[in-house]
Chain A
Amino acid sequence: MRDQAANRDNATQLRSDRIVVTGLGVITSIGIGCEQFWKALLAGNSGVGPVEAFDTSDFPVHLGAEVKTFEPGRYVFHRLPTQIDRASQFAIAAARLAVCDAGLPISDSEADDIGIVVGTTSGEPRVIERFDDHYVAGEVKNIGHNFISTYPCSALAANVACELGIGGDVVTIPTACAAGNHATAYAFDALRSGKAQVMVAGGADSFSRITYTGFARLGAIAPNLCQPFDLNRKGMIPGEGAAFLVLERLDHAQIRSARVYAEVAGYGLSCDAHHMTAAHPNAHGGVRAMELALKSAGVDPRHVDYISAHGTGTPTNDRLETIAIKRVFGDYAHQVPISSIKSMLGHTMGAASAIEAVACVLAIADDRIPPTINLVNQDPECDLDFVPLVSRSHKVNVALNNAYAFGGNNSSVVFARCGA
């Protein structure tokens, strides 16, 4: 094991293109900003409550994890309320917090070398929902001139760029619930190839009637609790939020004396090519993504100290993810702490893996692991260490972040302590 560690140290020292995390920003149902979010996460707070965004009386389920204390005016200074909708507001707020946290002034001279990449599942679903309200009411004439500029998912990255004055690569990655990890991967490649000096990467999604309707129809929404890996788990709970990470090359961070939280060590992406909404029963795609991520990071599986599980709380996901982790980690699977913060935040869709990335980075910075709450009666088929109920102090040098999505998308990103 020491040899492996030595190899990795040699490999990383030789690489001049190490990509590091220097800023974090989050908007979640349990807290806004890193400090509040991390405290709430370690305390095991839940953001789940009765849905307020729309009337759920026609639904068999009524819970959601909405962001209830958000004041867009505190973060959005330049875009007018008519120009942007809720997911863009979240994205702007979280990106602004991340850029402030990184101590990164966006001056005119650097703006062109800074990029923004936003992962999302639904873009701005409320804009099309309002379109549909007009349509159903026979009032197509009331559809506004700004529908077409506010709806497309690319508006998320564009709005953040306009608000923060970013002039480099601006892209939105709508790869459903793996989108946050896809965004990190995109930024990692853009920085490694020298296309950008700084990338602000993350994800955002707003609570949506369309998403809620779909998951309810699939019978995937839990009636009371999100209980990943519990024997009685009954599904996921839709949520909303946003998170962004400021990423840059290590030498760039060092020149500007930035605080370095952690390193993005590598990523792996794969596709089941099997079913739009169901994972392949052999879990091969998830295995492949984790293996590719560890390989690209040059990390031996036994050196992973924490896994942030996709852990939605649906019967199938949690069982298959357990199988995939066992396949990749062998006996060590029983030793590595794994948790699902979706137990607290619900499933924030395209934002989820970005928020979980922040949790991974903070776990490395703070050597603490957030718990899987509501896990009281562990499923014997999910027989790994899921850090039930209470957070744990644990040395975290390497964290692995899993996210899976509609379309058969599997994604894993490795974060590692930098330097040492």
Chain B
Amino acid sequence: MNHRVAVTGVGLISPLGDSSSSLFSALCDGRTGVSKLQEFSSNGHRCHLASRLPDFRGERYLSGRPLRPLDRTCQLATAACGLALKDSGWHTEERADIDFALVLGTMFGGMHTIAEFDRAALTSGPASVSPMAFANTVINAAAGQAAIWHNLHGVNSTVSGNSASGICAVGHAADLVRHGQLRTVLAGGVDEFSFESFVGFERAGSLCNDDAGPECPIPFDRRRNGFALAEGAGFLVLEDLSSAEDRGAKVLAEVKGCASAFDCSQGRDSALAIRTLVRAMNAALSRSGFAPDDIDFVSASANGSIPFDCIELTALDVVFGDRGSELPVTAIKCGIGEALGASGPAQLAAAIETFRTGRLPGVCGLQELPPGCPLGGIRAETIETPATSALINAVGLDGHCLSMVLASRDN
């Protein structure tokens, strides 16, 4: 027997605030977290924009115990998990007797910690490294630290699907609840901005740049020339709907279904890439028992990437056909940037706010869609649109294509 999967809590630390409502009001107001990168001198870099959390302090969210064993990635994840638990109404005492699970998605884990650990050994010798730092060099360190902090004794998993890791985690966790393997699970993702990831993405030509005009990390915009690298953490509490209702929890939304497909051309063959994303979206819809016409809006994965935004546009056109001319589509990476593991959970958090408020944030900064754009519902302006269902896309930069149907309790 399949269980229905309820979202009962959201915890978010994003460049646009540390709650769903602060993220959402910024998106609706057309504010962006993308700003001039302060850290590095612009010498030698073609990208000068990023979306960061300069003021994040773990102590603000996590108190009573030393934070020193947790690196920044661990602190972000642990803090966002704490916010989600609080939002879900699960109290520490009530959780003591159940196997609360955690499924965390991440592209890099603590890459900066790993690199610093290695560089300390290179420069000062292997005996000089910190054993405490070594503990955080495993990619599942954030999941382990969050479990210790919040006393989570159930399944503790970390999954990775490139920049789609957050939806990988939520989709996997939702399936475990749906099929009765888990009753309560924290699911989401984390990635921090690091020197290593910034340099890496820049070398690969993925970031917005000033090569031929102004930097433009605006999803779907004709002028787009790459994404702005971001950071953050976002987690949802998922539980089976009847248990959630039994304990009197507020049900924010339901995860109806998720699907994953892989493009072996990794975006190089655009026809195959489009077919693969179409396959993921159609599978997510059919697993959810939804037709394209049942979807009120799309939260796109688009982040300003030249090839991938176009692939997604065409794939949406294929799936939604004639509806494409009016289907409302938003792309919140205009505001938060590409937060990798945290992107998908932030898209889910924003979609829940759309269900609640009937407002769909516009793609801030959008001036002009690409020529021949088949979709008519991508706007710069925030619109009023009562909505009870959404299709959420997450497209990895290496071929991972995920799609998820989220619906409000009223759907």
Contact = CB atoms under 8 A, between A and B. Distances in A.
A60 B125 CA distance: 12
B99, B155, B172, most chain A CB atoms within 10 A: B155
A63 interface: no
A170 B262 contact: yes
A142 to B, nearest CB: 10
Interface stretch (B135-143, B312-320, B368-376): B135-143
Contacts of B130: 217
Contact of A161 (B140, B143, B399): B399
B398 A154 contact: yes
Contact of B400 (A123, A143, A170, A209): A170
Interface stretch (B46-54, B202-210, B239-247): B202-210
B399 A158 contact: yes
Given A58-B126, A174-B140, A147 B114 contact: no
Contacts of B69: 276
A408 interface: yes
A134 to B, nearest CB: 10
Nearest to B151: A273
A135 B122 CA distance: 10
A270 B399 contact: no
Interface in B149-170: 150-162, 165, 168
Nearest to B120: A213
B152 A141 contact: no
A68 interface: no
B235 interface: no
B385 to A, nearest CB: 32
A147 B131 contact: no
Given A133-B122, A158-B398, A171 B147 contact: no
Nearest to A162: B264
B98 interface: no
Contacts of A277: 131, 134-135
A1 to B, nearest CB: 29
Given A210-B118, A276-B148, A405-B140, A195 B262 contact: no
B297 interface: no
Interface string B179-211: 101000000000000001101110111100000
Given A161-B399, A273-B148, A132 B161 contact: no
A59 interface: yes
Contacts of A252: none
Interface stretch (B17-25, B84-92, B104-112, B303-311): B104-112
A135 B138 CA distance: 21
B279 interface: yes
Dominant SS among interface residues on chain B = mixed
Contacts of A273: 147-148, 150-153, 156
A171 B260 contact: yes
B168 to A, nearest CB: 6
Nearest to A216: B126
- Name the prevailing secondary structure of the A interface residues: mixed
A59 B148 contact: no
Given A135-B119, A407-B143, A274 B172 contact: no
Given A132-B115, A145-B203, A154-B107, A175 B122 contact: no
Contacts of A409: 140, 144, 156
Interface stretch (A90-98, A185-193, A239-247): A185-193
A71 interface: no
Contacts of B179: 189, 192-193
Contacts of B264: 161-162, 165-167
A152 B127 CA distance: 27
A411 B125 CA distance: 34
A170 B159 CA distance: 10
B35 interface: no
A408 B152 CA distance: 11
Contacts of B160: 152-154, 171-174
Contacts of B262: 158, 161, 166-170
A271 B147 contact: yes
A112 B398 contact: no
A397 B141 CA distance: 36
A218 B205 contact: no
A121 B258 CA distance: 26
Contacts of B158: 173-175
A380 interface: no
Contacts of A144: 203
B209 to A, nearest CB: 13
A151 B161 CA distance: 13
Interface string A285-299: 100100000000000
B117 interface: yes
A182 interface: yes
Contact of A129 (B118, B147, B206): B118
A174 B138 CA distance: 8
B184 to A, nearest CB: 14
A329 interface: no
B380 to A, nearest CB: 30
Given A145-B205, A152-B107, A217-B129, A131 B115 contact: yes
B140 A189 contact: no
B115 A152 contact: no
Closest 9 CB pairs of A and B: A407-B144, A148-B200, A174-B139, A214-B134, A271-B156, A276-B135, A170-B262, A154-B160, A273-B147
Given A217-B134, A271-B102, 8 more contacts: A122-B138, A143-B200, A170-B161, A171-B159, A172-B159, A175-B157, A270-B155, A407-B144
Interface of B: 44, 69, 99, 102, 106-109, 111, 114-115, 117-119, 121-123, 125-127, 129-131, 134-141, 143-145, 147-148, 150-162, 165, 168, 172, 175-176, 178-179, 181, 196-197, 199-201, 203-206, 259-264, 266, 276, 279, 396-400
20 contacts: A121-B138, A122-B138, A125-B114, A132-B115, A132-B118, A146-B204, A149-B397, A151-B200, A161-B399, A186-B159, A186-B172, A193-B178, A213-B117, A214-B117, A218-B134, A274-B148, A276-B141, A406-B140, A406-B144, A407-B140
